[in-house]
Structures are given as structure tokens and as C-alpha cells.
Structure 1
Amino acid sequence: MRPRTTIPLLIVLATGLITVLVWKGRQPMSAPPAPPTVETPSTPEPKLSDLAQPPNWSQLDAWQATVTRGEFIEMMNSVFTVSPVWRNWFIVNEDQVEVKTSNPDVPYILRFAAEGEETVGPRYWRSASSLPPTSSELPLKDLKIAIDPGHIGGRWAKIEERWFQVGEGSPVREGSMTLEVAKLLKPKLEVLGAKVTLIRTENEPVTSYRPESLMDEARESNPDSPQKLAERLFYRTAEIRSRADKVNKELKPDLVLCLHFNAEGWGDPLLPRLVPKNHLHLILNGAYTDGEVGLEDQRFEILGKIVERIHPEEAALAGSVAAAFVEKTQLPPYLYEPNSRRAVNVDNNPYLWARNLLANRLYRCPVVFLEPYVMNSIEDHARIQAGDYEGTKEIEGKARPSIFREYADSVAAGLENYYQTRRAHE
């Protein structure tokens, strides 16, 4: 699981005391004294997430009167939030919602569509139903897919805290493994007709930031121990924001595949231990905590997800990929604790969970965010140590394919099934 760090902004407004001295003499003054200068109160700075820019609310104007009041409330209650506290920030009226911004006197107003008159506004991505017809042999024809191999890997894996080694075995680096899966998956999707781009092609950051360039921001929040925070701002925040810029401004895909591997905790990071557990789940955007809804940029992202109707397509895609994964691997679902305040189950599917992660929040299109396998499980660790290979090998008493190829095959099968059934045929 990937906790997020939020740096709150403390805003102190100081007012100056203006003292006017009047000389009381018998002679009249040659001119009346100038009135004291009164400064116009400045607009408070917005409360934002780490390294976020203040949102430009006018960018959402293109979706005025496209979503009904019922749609909006349903999405907020069932997917995007974990408590009714969201209504403190989104004031719902009969014909519009007023969203609080950094200026308390100027909320952003989104007008609702009348019931039965909802429409699809502009967006750079295309749903399966809006793609042109294709043949059954090429169900992904012209589909634009961006593959996001999670984390960075390589020499950065230790800083990312996505590295461990058991005994004399080979080190496990999640970012290196996700890139290996991405390179196997890309040609499989291209054979099905897709146009595929890898967001990164090597174990190096996309962002130009480095931990040392983020020390000022880290000292502001944690002056006693800034180094660790600077590292986290680098790999958890600046890196994902740079990938989001590449996705939203350059690639503009119909779909992003975020590839990850899961792990179980083991306490002391220097003493990793293997466990018998294994599981799978996929993460959709949602389940914003009360504190996250209180951040202006995240309110902006929630509204954008709703007006672009990203969730329905995202949930359907994730469901198809999960089904294909289970068919090939028989992995059981990972289950969050009941009444969890950080995850919301989606469609009563035990494999689908909504969580507010930076990548699935910032990418402005459907995101299939995968968390299969357990890197420190007894079986999966043995499969990882075996590396990539064709065919099968006997691992822990079973003939098993390469874990990397099994991963790629499962994702490809899920997408093929989805677009085969949802897309019109020639």
C-alpha cells in the first residue's frame, strides 16, 4: 500500500497598526492630512497537496450542464468520498453545486443538467463504445494505451523503499520488475491493434527533480529531518506529477495501465521475511479522505473525474482485467478491513477497490492500476528469483510460467475481452 504525504500550508495574516500623529498647534495646517492607507485583504493561499499548483477552475466550464444532480451525488457518496464531510466543501443546490475555492467569496459553480438531458462533454480519451468499428481479429485497433511501469527501480529502488533481498538471493526491485512486464506487454497489445507507449523505458526518473533540489520544500515542512522527506517528494510526488504531465499533455491516451507488484509487511526493513500469503486487487480512483477533500486541487480533480465520467469506464475495464487475471492465476482477492476509511469497494467485486492515489487521480482518463502477487510470498519470491523464461519451470513443486509473462498475458487477455464485447464490429 502506498501512503501519501500531505504538506499543509500555514497561512498567517498579519495586520499592521497604523498610528496617526496629529500636531496640535495654533496654526492651521496647510493641507488636510492624507487618510491612512487601507490595504485590501489578499486572497488566502489555497490549501494544496504536495507540489501542486492552484487549479484553474475555468477549465471545467466546458462541462457545464452535462451531469445531473443525481449523478453527481451518487458518485460522491458511493465512490469518491468516505464520509458526508464532503458537503462542507461542495454545497449542493437543486440546479447547481457550489465548490469552495481559495477565495471564500467566489466558489466555483457547476450547473447541473436536467434529468434525462445529461451529455458527454469534451475529453481526450475515447470509451470503448465511442471507438470506430473494428474487426474481431483487431479488437484494440487504434486504441491509444500508455503503460506506466510503477516506481523507478534500478539504482533508485532503495531510496524508493521498493527493494529487498533475502539471504544470498537476487535483490527484488519492484520498479525494475514492472518495466520488464511493460516491455513484454507492449508487443502483445500491438498485435491486437493498439498504439502503445511506455511512459518510461529505462530505470531512470521521468522528472528532472532530484532529492537535493527539493530540500527547501522539505525543510519548510520538516526542518529537523528534511532528507527523508525530500526523497519522498522526489519519488512519490515529483515523479508522478511529471508522468501525469506526459500523459495529459503529450500522449493523451484512451487508457493508462499502471503496473505494480504488491508486498506484505515484515516489520524490520533490514530483515525481510517470506510469507505464505498471495493475492490480487485493482485500484480505481476514489475514497478521498476528509482531509483530502479539504485540499483545493483535490476537489478540482474529483469534479473533473465526475464530469468526464471516467469512473464507469475505469470500473468496467478493471473488472475485465481482474477476471482474466483470476482465470489465469487463481489469485484470491486482497480485502481491506471492513469500514476502512482509505478504500471503498467497487461494484461488490472483491478484486476492485477505490483509493485516492496520485497517479490514478492525476491521469485524466481511465486508469487500470494493478496490484497483483506478493513479492515476499514464498511462491512468488521463488518465481521472481527464476527470472523471465519461455515455457514453464518447476517452482515450489508446480510447473509455472514466468511470473512476468503471466502478468502480461493476463492484462492483454482482459483488454482483449473487454474491447471484443464492448466495441462495434465491422
Structure 2
Amino acid sequence: MIFLRPLFVFALLCAAWPAEAQRLSALAPPPDWSQLEAFQESMTHDDFVRLLDRVYAPAGAAKGVIDVEADAAVVKMTLTPPSEMRLRFAKDAAAVKAAPRYWRTPAQLGAAPDGQPLAGLKISLDPGHLGGAWAKMEERYFQIGESRPVTEGDMALRVAKMIVPKLQALGAQVSLVRASAEPVTKERPETLRDAARAELALEGVTSPRENYDGMNDPGRGSTVQAQSELLFYRISEIRQRAALVNAQLQPDLVVCLHFNAEGWGDPARPEFVPHNHLHVIVNGCYSAGELHFDDQRLEMLEKLLSNAFPEELAASESVANSLAAATKLPPYSYTTGNAVRAADNPYIWARNLLANRLYHAPVVFLEPYVMNSEVIWERVQAGDYEGEQMIGGELRPSLFREYADAVVAGLRDYYAKARTPQPAAAPPPANSPPIPK
């Protein structure tokens, strides 16, 4: 779910150190620009420009921090004081050097045995958020009367655990980035209060209140308590998951499982909304403001140069199509500037999220179902069950099984097709006209 973001979240994600130092996002380590040396001559000029302009930094968002010349991109490592490095392009496609990465494409995996389209594939499932005792803090919780609470983190984990054996039966090696409601990070809000004060000071809040007075406190976002909680579950948790994914799990694909929602008003009196929809996110659409932070600029370049986008898009389209067929949900459309369409498929959007930026492997980021639409709420109340039940005037399977089965079908279909050797084109018959270029 991505709608419940207090107004101070964007400032927190992009909070910077003073101008004379590196400009860093919240809790970001100083970027190691030497890592880009391994990407020298790993992409042609035209491919770099296409990905930069169409996917990662549309509308000239990289202007002034990444300047493209004929043979290289001139990249600002810091803005104040300015420092630069040159990222050389390959002369042509034949001269492209291999980009460093731990993940493998379907072509690198090779043909799969019959009935095992995911054989040898390493997939990490990342159930979004936390749930459990943390659900109210992270605003992924609502309850109507004495009904079953709706907690996104717990629901996502239930779906993930259903998916695991299904993917394993198709040959995949599957890992869970989060296997319980407990955080992956060792930090807690109490350990991050000094960092919260520092972030508030960067926003000009020099004498913040320590604690807020309930979730509806109008000044909640400017308190040390709220900032430390946000640093914990939104920033530290995802950064630690990224460290786990990149250093230990090293999958070929990450699937981030979420449920969506729209504003439900007062948490004590949540309201249903008439909308229900689906979309899938790939990494991209960095804003000019985001690219003025040194860590985000480096992370975007690593994502772009690893050529993760074709895999993210292809896998995302297959899963999106499977989910759309199973759920019959319409596509969600962004009306804000923080996302752009990544393909002709109306369900696929490019957006710069912390998880899909930090995870080095291709990421399929799923946002199906509006939890506070009445029919989805009713399906949550029904829990998990076999077969179908009459809900909202239709016979429907368990919400959780529908979600899990659609994800598995989308991944199965994608890899079955991508790993099938394609027959070589037949030579033209004798005396036939040449094929036009």
C-alpha cells in the first residue's frame, strides 16, 4: 500500500546534510562512486540515453547532474563542492563489456526441463511492511467495529507463504526477505530519536515536541516520536532488507507483495471508498530533486547500467496480465508527477521507491486490491478458504489464494516463454529478394 504517506515523508526521504557535505537521503551511507568504474564501457551511448530519458529521468530530470557527451556521461559525484567522473560508453554493441551483477537473465539460466520452467531460478519474496504489533504505527491497519482488523503486513506475509511451495514445485529456489511480523532491522524508534532530531533540524524544526498526542494530532509529523517511527519502519527497515537481498540472498528476481488502499479518513472511523484497482511498479521516474541527492544519483546509475529494466518490465507485464485476468480489476492511473507509464501496458508504471531502487536484482512491485473498498474488506473478513464463496454478489475464491495463484501463473508463463529456445530463422529461398534492413 502506498497512499498513507504523511506530508513529511517526502522531506524525510530527501533530507540532506549541510551544503558543504555530501547530500544524502535519510539514513543513507556516503556513496562509493568507485563502484561505477566496473560499469565503464558496459553500455552504448544510445542505450544509455534511451533508458535515462524514457525510464529513469524523464523530462530532463538529470540535467546538470548527468551530462551526456558523444563518448561518455559526465556525472556529478558531489554538487557542493562540485566533483565529476566520466562514465565511458562502449563504441558499439559488439564492444559492450559485461556489467557486474549477481542476478541472471532467463537466457543465462538456459532452457528449463519440462514441467520445471523455474528450475535454477532464485526468487526472493518481500512481503511489504511489518504487520503484527507494528501495524498501527506504520498506518497499515484499520478496523470497522468489532470486525477482523485489516493489516497489510500480515496479509502480504500470508500470500508470500502461500506462494513459496507453488514456486518450489516449478523448480525455483525461494527465499523470504521477511518471514514474520518482526522487523529485519535491529533499529527501533527509541534508537533513532537522535537521528530524528537531526532530520527535523534539516527541515527547519529546531525545537520539536518529543511526542505526539494521538494519530490525529495536527502537528504529529513534526515530533521526534513520529520522525523516529518513520525512520524505523520506512527507512531503516527497507535499507536492512536491501542489505540482506544484495549481500546474502542474491536472487535473480525480487517480488514485492503489497495491497493497496485509498484514504480512509479518521483511523477511528474508517470509511469505504468506491474504487478498486491494480498496478505494478518498476524502478524509474526519478525527479530532479531526487537526483540532487548523491546517494540516489549513484543508485539510479547502478540500476540503469545493470540493465535491470528489460527484466523488470518483462516479468512485471506477465504478472500484471495474470493478476488482471484473475482479479478483473481496472488499472490504476497516477495523476501526480512521481510516476510515468513504463510501457503500453496500462497496469505498468515506473516510480522511484526505496525498495526497487536499493534491490540490485530486477524487482516486480505489486499493488493490487484496494483494501478499504467494501468488496475487498468483505473478502478479508472471509479469511482463507477452499473453493468459492458468494461475496459482493459474485462467487469468489479466497482473496489470498487468488493473489498467490495469479503471481505464480505470471512468473511461470514468463519464464516458460523466456527460457524456451527460439528456432533460428529459416534461410530465404533461392533467388528471393533480399530482406530489407
Counterpart CA distance in 2 for 1:109 and 1:250 is 31
Partner of 2:90: 113
8 A contact 1:83–1:290 mirrored in 2: no
Runs of 4+ in 1 over 4 A off after TM superposition: none
More displaced stretch, 214-223 vs 2-11: 2-11
Q: Distance in 2 between matches of 1:295 and 1:100?
A: 10
User: What is the aligned partner in structure 2 of residue 242 from structure 1?
Assistant: 240
Q: SS state of the match for residue 323, structure 1?
A: helix
Quote the residue 1:291 is aligned against. 289
- Alpha-carbon separation, structure 1, partners of 2:388 and 2:37: 54
1:405 aligned partner: 401
Q: Which of the numbers 53, 75, 96 marks the counterpart of 2:29?
A: 53
Q: CA deviation at 1:107?
A: 1.1
Structure 2: tracts of 5 or more residues without a match: 201-206, 209-222, 423-437
SS in 1 for 2:47: helix
For residues 118-173 of structure 1, give each alpha carbon's deviation from its aligned partner in whole angstroms, at most 9, with x where no partner exists.
Answer: 34322100011211221230000010000000000000000000000012211110
**Shift of residue 10, structure 1, vs aligned partner:** 4.8
Q: TM-score, normalised by structure 1?
A: 0.89
Task: Indicate whether 1:265 and 2:263 are aligned.
Answer: yes
Q: By how many angstroms is 1:386 displaced?
A: 0.6
- Report if aligned partners of 1:82, 1:290 keep a CA contact under 8 Å in 2: no
In 2, Cα distance between equivalents of 1:120 and 1:139: 26
Question: Equivalent residue for 1:359?
Answer: 355
Among candidates 374, 379, 385, match of residue 375 of structure 2: 379
Q: Distance in 2 between matches of 1:398 and 1:346?
A: 33
Q: Report the Cα distance in structure 1 between the residues aligned to 2:313 and 2:303, rounded to whole angstroms.
A: 13
TM-score, normalised by the number of residues in structure 2: 0.87
Mapping of 1:139-288 within 5 angstroms?
139-222=117-200, 223-224=207-208, 225-288=223-286
CA separation of 1:7/1:309 partners in 2, compared to 1, >3 Å: closer, same or farther? closer
1:345 alignment partner in structure 2: 341
Report what 1:9 is aligned to. 16
**How far 1:424 sits from its partner (Å)?**
3.5
SS in 2 for 1:51: coil
User: Residue 329 of structure 2: which of 314, 321, 331 is its match?
Assistant: 331
How many Å separate the matches in 2 of 1:82 and 1:424? 34
Q: Secondary structure at the match of 1:424?
A: coil
1:158 aligned counterpart, secondary structure: coil
The amino acid that maps onto 1:152 is: L
**What is aligned with 1:63?**
39
Task: Measure, in 2, the Cα distance between the counterparts of 1:386 and 1:151.
Answer: 22
Kindly indicate whether residue 365 of structure 2 is the aligned counterpart of residue 369 of structure 1. yes
Structure 2 residue matching 1:58: 3-state secondary structure: helix
C-alpha RMSD over aligned residues: 1.5
Q: Distance in 2 between matches of 1:268 and 1:401?
A: 31
Q: Check 1:85–1:417 CA distance in 2 against 1; reply closer, same or farther (3 A cut).
A: closer
**Alpha-carbon contact 2:126-2:178 (below 8 Å) kept:** yes
Q: Which residue of 2 is the match for residue 37 of structure 1? A: none
Distance 1:8 1:273 in 2: 33
- Is the 8 Å Cα contact of residues 82 and 342 (structure 1) preserved in structure 2? no
Q: Is the 8 A contact 1:80 1:287 kept in 2?
A: yes
Residue 309 of structure 2 is matched in structure 1 by: 311
Count, aligned residues: 393
CA displacement at 1:370 relative to structure 2: 0.2
SS at match of 1:86: coil
Residue 394, structure 1, aligned to residue 372, structure 2: no
Mapped contact 1:280–1:333 kept (Cα < 8 A)? yes
User: How far does the alpha carbon of each residue in 1:333-389 deviate from its partner, in whole angstroms, 9 at most, with x for none?
Assistant: 00112xx31001011211000111100000001000000001011111000011111
Deviation at 1:11, TM superposition (A): 2.4
Residue 435 (structure 2) aligns with: none
2-structure distance, mates of 1:172, 1:423: 39
Q: Which stretch has the larger CA shift, 99-108 or 303-312?
A: 99-108
Q: Which has the larger radius of gyration?
A: 1
Task: Evaluate the alpha carbon distance shift between residue 283 and residue 85 of structure 1 in structure 2; reply closer, same or farther with a 3 A threshold.
Answer: closer
Q: Which runs of 5+ in 1 are unaligned?
A: 13-43
What does the per-residue CA deviation read over 1:171-230, in whole Å, with 9 as the maximum and x for residues that have no partner? Answer: 110000000000000000000000000111111100000001010011122241111010
Quote how far apart the aligned CAs of 1:110 are: 0.8
Structure 2 residue matching 1:160: 3-state secondary structure: coil
